Amino acid sequence: MSAISAPAFAQTAEPPVAPAATSAEKSPAAANEDAVQPDIIITAQKRSQRLLDVPQSVSVISSETLENQHAQRLSDYLTRIPSANVVESQSGSSRIVLRGINTGGVGATVATYIDEAPFGSATALANGGVLAPDLDPFDLDRVEVLRGPQGTLYGANSLGGLVKFVTVTPNPREFAAAGEIGVESVAHGDIGYDGRLAANIPFGTDAAMRATGFYRSDPGYIDDPAHGSDVNDGKTYGGRLSIMARPSPALRIRASALMQNIRSNGTNIVDLDPVTLEPTLGKYTHQRVIDEPNDIDYRLYNATIDYDFGPVALVSATSYGTLKQAGVVDASGVYGALLTQILGVPLGAGLDQGMRQRRFTEEVRLASTDRRMIEWTLGGFYTHESNRLAQNLFGIDALSGDRIASLDGLLIAALPSRYRELAGFANATWHIAPRFDLTAGGRYSHNRQSSEQNTSGFIVGPPISFGGKSSDSAFTYSVAPQFKPNRNTTIYARVAKGYRPGGPNAVSPLAPDAVPREFGPDSTTNYEVGVKTQTADHLLSLEVTAFQIDWKDVQLLVQIAGIGVNANGDGARSKGIEFTAGANPSRFLSLYANGSYVDAYLTDDAPLAGGFKGDPLPYNPKWQGTIGAEYQHPLSGSLTGRAGISWHYTGGRSSDFTPPPAPPGQRRLDSFSQIDAHAGVDVGKFRVNAFVRNLTGAKGIVNLGFFGATNGDVAAAVIMPRTVGLSLGARY
């Protein structure tokens, strides 16, 4: 079931609302004739449950949806679910926002998991907020998106919610293989292509291996008069390997490794007039002094052990993940004029930026296995991070774009940091009556952090080194009663708390006392009521959720005495309504719609960050929605035709706050709509699919940058223009 369709509790895959396996296996006509349809099973509460039985707002994006839409990037699918947005300016440099919980800082407000392993940084000292993993979704089982705080079971940084990538488990019962090749052409740009392979190989009856590999050439569509056409092209490649074994009926061991590399040659940014926000050089054009590549490498290794003791089951999940980023930013708009004035020749400036994250985690939990009056989960969690942010400001010949060796290292900064966290949690569901359940849980977390700042160079003078330490604790909880009038309806309420750790500010001892040496944790408390329902024949479905999130001690990026640091503001609030609905007017046609109204704003002044009471939180559209249709019909015994179309609306948003000394004030970004469509046929085990994204060539701004634009222009990242593609796939 697709998150862009009706509630995902009636079926296991696309098309929306109607049940479907891959179309080569079962058509909607045949599926709707079945007496009983399979339910979606998810692991949002760290145990297998029907999605309908989970007392919170969850969307599921199926593998079939990803395949039909030829989705390859976060922005291709995540933005099609209620109250979710992706803010990005370049491949791999993404921020995920759920329910408007965002103030533009560098700490993540949405946690990311890959199966049992958290991925990304838990601290605001490692740019986790702008380096959300953008995983290629090939051969995923599904993507689960949990909206609202998830602090009880998932811990730090789940202030706004959680995105969980669930990979396919190796299957020892049969050999299977799949492959796909595709090509796409971008208006105002060039041509890209991709190839993907997956294989499931059994070893006897108790072990199997699953391997996937992919390579994608991403087409560019941004021009630069100084550097040529389509400068934001790139490539993404990698793969996953997973091995599962059952040495005994009670024991299951799964080991996996994930590798993905992103190589982006430039940004998705257009230069705009600062007043009208209209392009100054061309619809898809910017001008830079130097190229702006960005390289990101993901690595994640995980070992999960499950042991069934009978009445209880033990799970041990051990993981080690790394993220490496190395990029170049054109900083001429900020430092070029200063260097030109000082040295008397036309100069630009560039910034080398690197980030290295290394994270070890261990989670052990016990859970009841039988459905008794009380089902419970009890666990412990430990994580250790080692991070290093490095920056180097250098001079550039403004005419040729060449780096000037003598002006390298104008400012060199290194910020190593460490983060350690220990937590314990418990969660239980009490089946009070046949139709009434109460789910509640709590988590206590304690962390310790340390950081250093080492600077040198022409701008700051002789080498300086100083550091800081911090520690804090948090208790998070969730309480969710639910009433089930029948098997196909759930009415629930939920109160839940999430938190984000604080940390030290590495500040010189000579800095004024007003500059905070550390910043505290912030937290959100979510109040939510909802209903999930479907007809017994699964032909109609509806989910409606109303929520309010109170955000306290909001972490902000501020300027105090000319020093940029993290600090805590007072409060913010997000409130709104989300819905998903679907209908099957015939055996072959599925209609779906979803949307959200989210009003997120500051409840107190934050003058040091450039925000004031009532100001909207950045990059949150009040109105957002998707409507669409899917049609699937057997043409003969081995031939099935498919087609689908969707319209997605993103309402007006406001840009980031502007801290002093710049004049305060957010920029208002216009709303935009995007139409996507696909059509194809399945012939036996083969599939041909044609697709188009952004059919009308709509231009939508998704981010306003700080660096980049010169001559007083504004740098704005825009959505990809009309993209037309074709793919050919096969399954065995």
Condensed to tens digits (0 to 9), the pLDDT of residues 124-143 reads: 999 999 999 999 999 899 99
Domain that holds residue 76: 28-731
Condensed to tens digits (0 to 9), the pLDDT of residues 134-171 reads: 999 998 999 999 999 999 999 999 999 999 999 999 99
CA distance readout (Å), 634 to 1, 23, 732: 20, 9, 20
Is there a domain that residue 284 lies in?
Answer: yes
**If pLDDT is split at 50, 70 and 90, which confidence band does 69 have?**
confident
| CATH code of the domain covering residue 454 | 2.40.170.20
* Number of compact structural domains in the chain: 1
Neighbours of 216 (CB within 10 A): 21
Higher pLDDT, 75 or 44: 75
d(CA 57, CA 527): 12
pLDDT at residue 561 is higher than 50:
yes
Is there a domain that residue 342 lies in?
Answer: yes
Quick one: pLDDT at residue 33? Answer: 38
Dihedral through CA 27, CA 31, CA 33, CA 39, nearest 10? -170
Quick one: pLDDT at residue 706? Answer: 64
Is there a domain that residue 17 lies in?
Answer: no
Angle at the Cα of 105 from the Cα atoms of 101 and 111, rounded to 5 degrees: 55
Phi, psi (5° rounding) for residue 414? -130, 130
Quick one: pLDDT at residue 638? Answer: 87
- Single pTM value for the model: 0.92
pLDDT at residue 471 is higher than 80:
yes
The answer to whether 674 touches 718, Cβ cutoff 8 Å, is: no
Quick one: pLDDT at residue 662? Answer: 75
| Strands in 82-206 per DSSP E | 84-90, 93-98, 110-114, 117-118, 140-147, 161-167, 176-186, 191-203
Residues 6+ positions from 285 with CB-CB distance below 8 Å: 222, 223, 224, 225, 270, 271, 279
Report the number of secondary-structure helices (H) and strands (E) in the chain: 5, 40
Higher pLDDT, 372 or 161: 161
The one-letter code for the residue type at 544 is: V
Is there a domain that residue 430 lies in?
Answer: yes
Q: Which two tokens stand for residue 281?
A: 């050089």
d(CA 22, CA 32): 14
Is there a domain that residue 720 lies in?
Answer: yes
Is there a domain that residue 5 lies in?
Answer: no
Per-residue pLDDT, averaged over 568-586, amounts to: 95
pLDDT at residue 656 is higher than 80:
yes
Condensed to tens digits (0 to 9), the pLDDT of residues 54-65 reads: 999 999 998 888
Quick one: pLDDT at residue 707? Answer: 66
How does the average pLDDT of the chain come out, rounded? 90
The answer to whether 198 touches 238, Cβ cutoff 8 Å, is: no
Q: Which two tokens stand for residue 273?
A: 């007039």
The answer to whether 45 touches 427, Cβ cutoff 8 Å, is: yes
The answer to whether 481 touches 493, Cβ cutoff 8 Å, is: yes
pLDDT at residue 13 is higher than 90:
no
Q: Which two tokens stand for residue 680?
A: 């194809």
Quick one: pLDDT at residue 67? Answer: 87
**Which residue's structure tokens are 């959200």?**
596
Distance, first Cα to last Cα, the chain:
23
Quick one: pLDDT at residue 131? Answer: 93
The one-letter code for the residue type at 472 is: D
Is there a domain that residue 582 lies in?
Answer: yes
Phi, psi (5° rounding) for residue 254? -130, 125
**Which residue's structure tokens are 């007083």?**
712
Is there a domain that residue 247 lies in?
Answer: yes
Q: Return left, alpha or beta for 75; rule: phi > 0 is left, psi -120 to 50 is alpha, else beta.
A: alpha
pLDDT at residue 269 is higher than 60:
yes
